[in-house]
Amino acid sequence: MEIDPVCFKKVDYKNTKWVSEYKRRKYYFCGSNCKKAFDENPKSHVDIYHRHLHEIVNEDLRNKLRW
């Protein structure tokens, strides 16, 4: 699984057809609208994505660990 850098939804990278590359890294998207938004301004989305990625991962782990 990957995280869409625009809407932060989980994306199955093996099955999505919406992919962009920025600075030699692939980013996967839930749909064409997110891919289009990313392609128009990738740096902005990548900066936000990396700032908030730890929050997304931590929230996902907390949800998995709840009894």
**pLDDT recorded at residue 53:** 78
**pLDDT recorded at residue 65:** 67
Provide the pairing of β-strand 25-28 with 19-22. Answer: antiparallel
Query: Closest Cα partner for 5 from 24, 35, 59?
Result: 35
β-partners of residue 2 are 11
Q: Which domain holds residue 6?
A: 2-65
Low-confidence residues in the chain, pLDDT < 70: 57, 60-67
Query: Closest Cα partner for 19 from 9, 11, 29?
Result: 29
**pLDDT recorded at residue 61:** 65
Q: How many domains does the chain have?
A: 1
